[in-house]
Structure 1
Amino acid sequence: MTTTSPRLRRLGGLGRLGRLGRLGTAGLACAAVAAGLLTAAPAAPAAATVRQPQLESRSADILRVDGKKFRDLDGNGRLTPYEDWRLSPERRAKDLVGRLDLEEKAGQLIHGSLAGTGTYDRAAFEALLDQHVTTYISRLGVDARTLATEHDDLQAAAEAQPFGIPLMISTDPRSGFTVTAGQTVASGDFSAFPDAIGVGAVDSPLLTRAMGDVIRREYRAVGITEALSPQADIATEPRWSRINGTFGSTGELARRHVGAYVAGLQGGDDGVGRDGVVTVVKHWAGYGAQVDGYDSHYYYGRFAAFPGNNFAEHLVPYEAAFAKDAGGIMPTYSILKDLKIDGKTVEQVGAGHSEDMLGLLRDGYGFDGVITSDWGITGDCPQACEDNRPPSFFVGPWGAGMSWGVEDLTRAERFASTINAGVDIVGGDDHPEYIVQAVRQGILAESRVDEAATRVLAQKFSLGLFEDPYVDPSAADRVVGNRLHQALGETMQARSLTLLKNDDRTLPLEVANQRGRSGHGVRTVYLYGVQPAAAQKLGLRVVADPADADVAVVRLSDPKAGADLTGLDFTGTEGDYQALVAADEAGATTIASPQLSRPLILGKVLKHSDAVLANYGVSDDVLLRTVVGRAQPSGSLPFELPSSMAEVAAQLGDVPDDTAHPLFERGFGLSYRGGHR
């Protein structure tokens, strides 16, 4: 690259619950409010704090000034403005940034990763802390008490640093059923809800907000203060692999739930409260329109496209996030192929490097929160990376390298590119020294570093972390996954279930000897993908051979057909599909429960099923309780289900629900009472 290239010229610029299961939606919402699960009124903004907040220190002394207490985080024995909780978060952040040197400020612009399995790798953490990195993602899947204890230990180490800057600890979603490396974390002790696409199937913003409030309480209990969620993408390309993390196929459906989720997580309607969790809404914008459904974690999938000229609908869900003053936005990896905004083709780089896309966010929509890059957009992608495809993981020996459109830049130039474009904190690249290099090379202004660091630190002040970054591990045990939280999760799981077929009113099943009856109903069941204990609790005898069963209940997962894993139809080689066919041919009444992580083609499944009860992530207990009528399925499809891959190939990837002859239209769902709801 020569120094006369347009990109390098730009780099030099400085511009820019049991009982709950029987309640209806309104009743559930009222119960959630009464139980304190759903914020009944917006939380007071952090800047309005005038009363003495709770303080906790492990090493910093406590100062007493004007009858108030403050933490002496810099250890100078005097009240420094950034230590004064009576001042606004913005003023405190500016004061602190003014005291940091370039290396210390650069560390604030890095969103690092906490390594480790059963516990965190302290040596790796301390190496990053020595580089002044104070924001981290946690993927540790352990019990709540251990997670809280680990986070307290890390906060104590941060407190002992020269300015005592507390850690912001983030997480990918932990409350769903689908676990994907680098994208979600197993729920473990956390209350389990359907995947986001199932929340769209329930389509109750009141319940979505209550769910968000539960997640907020559980995250804060273990010391997590930032959620890398929700996905505001819309599922317009049926083959795309990340549909399960969206709320559905249309902008309006997603808008309803993005706003409710953000309000629940952040603790109110007007931004992040002191007890809130910062939401990072992603992936700005158009990630759901991936060419042929390919994933832009990979080089071959780096493009999204808008052949239906429908980019505007992909922005609609973000309007709800802005209305609730979401704390963060994450740009997509994708290059928006040949997209025009106001007649101008956007720069053909990933959105995290695009002045056009981030200018639309800042100037067009007035967003003034923190922009967090997706992971690895400053990394290298050598030939092995370019050749890599699923099912291989997108991170290889080269690390994470999703620097689409800027591959020819140096690492320092890529940092300058994304920060100049508008990103405030860079995810997944633990090398703040490249920011320092960029400033010293004159391709990144230190004033821009100051601006970004001020935004990042202001959020920590808003959350009260400079007063008390610690949690109570014993309380985490009581909060995370408690009975009330779990009951709400199970209720939403049941309500998301979508009845697609129910020949001769197969469902709900009548279990023999249930309610004192004898001589009638189902006694034996064959299970595939369901644990026997869940059936035994309901009085059913589990058999190993479908020929011996009255009923077969078969779970089916996404077939991910074809060499590129984007196929939506069952080929006949899948073990779960073969189990369904075998049960049908053995004469058992067959109940299929496909998990609709994407809009699967179910023609073959319908042929071999008496009833089809689709799920979006559901426990065995909730599934079987619904099968026997102890809960009612009331979900509606959050996207259409196509009838063939030929029609999928012919649809427009940026337009929702546009196959020619869908098997089921969006919004379809039967009830046990008969008919389409």
Structure 2
Amino acid sequence: MSNDATTTTVDTRYRDSSLSVDQRVDILLSQMTLAEKAGLFFQTMIAMGDGGELSEGDPAFGVASNREYVVERGMTHFNLLGVAPSAAHIARWHNKLQELAASTRLGIPVTISTDPRHGFSENPGAAILAGPFSQWPEPLGLAATHDPALVEEFADIARREYTAVGIRVALHPQIDLATEPRWARQLQTFGEDADLAGELGAAYVRGFQGPTFGPGSVSTMTKHFPGGGPQKDGEDPHFDYGREQVYPGGQFELHLKPFEAVFAAGGRQIMPYYGMPVGTEYEEVGFGFNKGVLTGLLRERFGFDGIVCTDWGLITDQAIMGAEFAARAWGVEHLTPAERMIKVLEAGADQFGGEDDPSMLIALVESGEIGEDRLDESARRLLREKFLLGLFENPYVDVAVADAIVGSDAHRQAGEIAQRASIAVLQNRATDAGAPALPFARGAKLYVEGIDAEVAARYGEVVDSPADADIAVLRLQAPFEVRDSMFENFFHSGSLDFPADVIAHVAEVAASVPTVVDVFLDRPAILAPIVDAAHAVVANWGASAAALLDVLTGEFAARGRLPFDIPRSMAAVEASRPDVPFDTEDPLFRFGHGLSL
């Protein structure tokens, strides 16, 4: 079909909602040019302009202007970049972007996606700060509640907040199993247990997609098929030293179990991971290129007919945040971008994540290297999703109500309650006075580190020295190794041992006053030295200082339970098998551990 359709009369019956979705897809697809089809296949980052205006692009992130993407390149799927000062800002920009899309020949509406936005993470490679959205524990914290109803409540609230600003695809949940304690991406998972991950993943999908998938839904893109947890040495495949997924315990099938639960719940989309399987029956190439995995396993065995979008940047090796890395096309680094594109499509994927050059795909079809019928197969899936989401009927949102919905008092209160419910008390031994350290009485003299003094002052008298305190509360981050670039250091990797100076400091404080140590456990740190020194040890996965202090003072009952084992030593971690859950020898604390106060 010619790319020049300027003189063709458009058959607008695809806008007739009385027709079936399949009929509407057929009518629209039959009159799309090759360029218009190709534009569907690319999902990349997009920027907002100041004040909710259209953006001229963001050179720092290699992002083109809104007009170039939508009008000149014909793209209609975007992952929203950055944090806005208000929901109204996002909603206003979204409507202007939809107006821009409506000005094109066929007026195909834009679909906006996002990485998680409701937590505490500061890793732009995995999640975005909450900004105007209600703030909840990270998924590991949701897992620490062991409560599917709470997870579904979160997802339902997130759905309402997303749809209020025009976000219609969640690039989550992440249901990889956290079976390698060193792996950097555990914070966005539901932990180490396959049954719990499946149960919570299904609840998450139900909350986001709603009872019936349609105009009020957010489509979920579950990741990372077929399970991204078994990383060799726990290194992440964003980087060349983390390319291999290994299965020395023969547990490939176990990592599929949470996906089966999500499929049963109606999950609509899938993202395969960067990693390449080593020592399995599958080709040793990244999962986005892997036909045995995407077609043989996902499409044929599980019967999945939804959208498959690759992880970001498999085709053109784009730099990340200004840092140069080797290709993330593991196992096929030697292929040209065009050859990689062919392999992705032959594998069974529908979209190229993080890519923005439809001209390459057009050229492959024009040269006969890819048949247009192959494009039509994926285009049907992509268009069907837009129709089912109701974007052709009404792609716009109500700017006037966005701020009232997003981050409303009720939503924020629900998030605050969830933060408190996720906090796990791991140890609570007696002080010299003979009583357990927790709960401590309001009004006590408090020495705090990692807590704003104004917040702490609501719970007691803040003092400057442990020697003057009745109790000390120290907040720590689980340890990680510093790597060479800023982007690498967003992915906390390497040893789980606390530095000697941190352990010595905790011991020094605890020698002079009963001490509570709260650790942000984005990975299962080696807590043994902290447990030996401190009177009480607490874990969180995203909780405000007020949420923590409410639990420590007994204002809110301690309910959280570990979503993974806590290893006893790094030697035990290094000896464990990356694909096998609960495989470190003699763990310090077991999955499900959590004390009541």
Above 0.5 in TM-score? yes
Letter in 1 for 2:451: V
Equivalent pair of 2:175/2:227 in contact (CA under 8 Å): no
1:191-206 equivalent positions in 2, closer than 5 A? 191-206=134-149
- State whether structure 2 residue 242 is matched by structure 1 residue 318: no
Alignment partner of 1:544 out of 451, 464, 468: 464
Of all paired residues, the percent bearing the same amino acid is 39
Give 2:79's aligned residue: 137
Alignment partner of 1:239 out of 172, 182, 196: 182
Alignment partner of 2:69 out of 128, 135, 150: 128
Alignment partner of 1:158 out of 66, 85, 101: 101
Equivalent pair of 1:250/1:313 in contact (CA under 8 Å): no
Quote the Cα distance in structure 2 between the aligned partners of 1:374 and 1:557.
28
In structure 2, the CA distance between the partners of 1:398 and 1:670, relative to structure 1 (3 Å rule), is: closer
- State whether structure 2 residue 39 is matched by structure 1 residue 107: yes
Alignment partner of 1:568 out of 485, 488, 496: 496
Quote the Cα distance in structure 2 between the aligned partners of 1:90 and 1:590.
64
Equivalent pair of 2:478/2:522 in contact (CA under 8 Å): yes
Equivalent pair of 1:534/1:624 in contact (CA under 8 Å): no
The worse-fitting range, judged by mean Cα deviation, of 551-560 and 86-95 is 86-95
Give 1:416's aligned residue: 342
Quote the Cα distance in structure 1 between the aligned partners of 2:100 and 2:505.
53
Give 2:159's aligned residue: 216
Give 2:579's aligned residue: 654
**How far did residue 561 of structure 1 move?**
3.6
Quote the Cα distance in structure 1 between the aligned partners of 2:137 and 2:505.
25
Give the 4+ runs in structure 1 shifted more than 6 A: 74-79
In structure 2, the CA distance between the partners of 1:249 and 1:378, relative to structure 1 (3 Å rule), is: same
1:162-185 residue CA offsets vs partner (Å, 9 max, x unmatched):
111111000000011122022100
- State whether structure 2 residue 17 is matched by structure 1 residue 80: no
Quote the Cα distance in structure 2 between the aligned partners of 1:650 and 1:598.
17
1:461-540 equivalent positions in 2, closer than 5 A? 461-504=387-430, 505-512=436-443, 522=444, 524-538=445-459, 540=460
Equivalent pair of 1:379/1:399 in contact (CA under 8 Å): no
1:367-391 residue CA offsets vs partner (Å, 9 max, x unmatched):
011001100011238xxx8xxxxxx
Segments of structure 2 that go 5 or more residues without pairing to the other structure are 1-5, 58-64, 431-435, 484-491
Quote the Cα distance in structure 2 between the aligned partners of 1:261 and 1:75.
47
Give 1:356's aligned residue: 292
1:387-402 equivalent positions in 2, closer than 5 A? 395-396=321-322, 401-402=327-328
Give 1:431's aligned residue: 357
Letter in 1 for 2:154: M
User: Match of 1:433, SS?
Assistant: helix
Quote the Cα distance in structure 2 between the aligned partners of 1:468 and 1:565.
44
In structure 2, the CA distance between the partners of 1:117 and 1:335, relative to structure 1 (3 Å rule), is: farther
Equivalent pair of 1:376/1:400 in contact (CA under 8 Å): no
Quote the Cα distance in structure 1 between the aligned partners of 2:325 and 2:442.
54
Alignment partner of 1:309 out of 239, 250, 264: 250
In structure 2, the CA distance between the partners of 1:581 and 1:117, relative to structure 1 (3 Å rule), is: farther
Quote the Cα distance in structure 2 between the aligned partners of 1:640 and 1:398.
35
1:20-50 residue CA offsets vs partner (Å, 9 max, x unmatched):
xxxxxxxxxxxxxxxxxxxxxxxxxxxxxxx
Quote the Cα distance in structure 1 between the aligned partners of 2:450 and 2:473.
8
The worse-fitting range, judged by mean Cα deviation, of 396-405 and 500-509 is 396-405
User: Match of 2:167, SS?
Assistant: coil
Quote the Cα distance in structure 1 between the aligned partners of 2:95 and 2:482.
46
Alignment partner of 2:565 out of 630, 640, 654: 640
Alignment partner of 1:148 out of 78, 81, 91: 91
Equivalent pair of 2:10/2:106 in contact (CA under 8 Å): no
Letter in 1 for 2:284: Q
Give 2:317's aligned residue: 380
Give 1:553's aligned residue: 473
User: Match of 1:612, SS?
Assistant: strand
Equivalent pair of 1:497/1:633 in contact (CA under 8 Å): yes
Give 2:62's aligned residue: none
Letter in 1 for 2:230: A
Letter in 2 for 1:446: E
- State whether structure 2 residue 235 is matched by structure 1 residue 299: no
Give 1:250's aligned residue: 193
Equivalent pair of 1:438/1:444 in contact (CA under 8 Å): yes
Equivalent pair of 2:48/2:90 in contact (CA under 8 Å): no
Give 2:273's aligned residue: 332
Give 2:487's aligned residue: none
- State whether structure 2 residue 505 is matched by structure 1 residue 584: no
Give 1:12's aligned residue: none
Alignment partner of 1:628 out of 528, 547, 553: 553
Task: With the length of structure 2 as denominator, give the TM-score of the two structures.
Answer: 0.92
Letter in 2 for 1:537: R
Quote the Cα distance in structure 2 between the aligned partners of 1:188 and 1:570.
31
Quote the Cα distance in structure 2 between the aligned partners of 1:208 and 1:85.
33
Quote the Cα distance in structure 1 between the aligned partners of 2:23 and 2:308.
20
In structure 2, the CA distance between the partners of 1:471 and 1:420, relative to structure 1 (3 Å rule), is: same
Task: With the length of structure 1 as denominator, give the TM-score of the two structures.
Answer: 0.81
Quote the Cα distance in structure 2 between the aligned partners of 1:459 and 1:399.
34
Equivalent pair of 1:334/1:350 in contact (CA under 8 Å): yes
Give 1:347's aligned residue: 283
**How far did residue 475 of structure 1 move?**
0.9
Quote the Cα distance in structure 2 between the aligned partners of 1:145 and 1:400.
39
Give 2:120's aligned residue: 177
User: Match of 1:87, SS?
Assistant: coil
Quote the Cα distance in structure 2 between the aligned partners of 1:372 and 1:125.
21
User: Match of 1:452, SS?
Assistant: helix
Equivalent pair of 1:193/1:617 in contact (CA under 8 Å): yes
In structure 2, the CA distance between the partners of 1:399 and 1:502, relative to structure 1 (3 Å rule), is: closer
Equivalent pair of 1:640/1:666 in contact (CA under 8 Å): yes
Quote the Cα distance in structure 2 between the aligned partners of 1:368 and 1:170.
20
The worse-fitting range, judged by mean Cα deviation, of 322-331 and 90-99 is 90-99
Quote the Cα distance in structure 1 between the aligned partners of 2:107 and 2:180.
46
Equivalent pair of 2:510/2:533 in contact (CA under 8 Å): yes
**How far did residue 573 of structure 1 move?**
3.6
Coordinate RMSD, CA, aligned:
2.0
1:37-82 residue CA offsets vs partner (Å, 9 max, x unmatched):
xxxxxxxxxxxxxxxxxxxxxxxxxxxxxxxxxxxxx999987221
Alignment partner of 1:92 out of 24, 30, 35: 24
- State whether structure 2 residue 210 is matched by structure 1 residue 267: yes
User: Match of 1:552, SS?
Assistant: strand
Give 2:382's aligned residue: 456
Quote the Cα distance in structure 2 between the aligned partners of 1:400 and 1:542.
50
The worse-fitting range, judged by mean Cα deviation, of 224-233 and 95-104 is 95-104
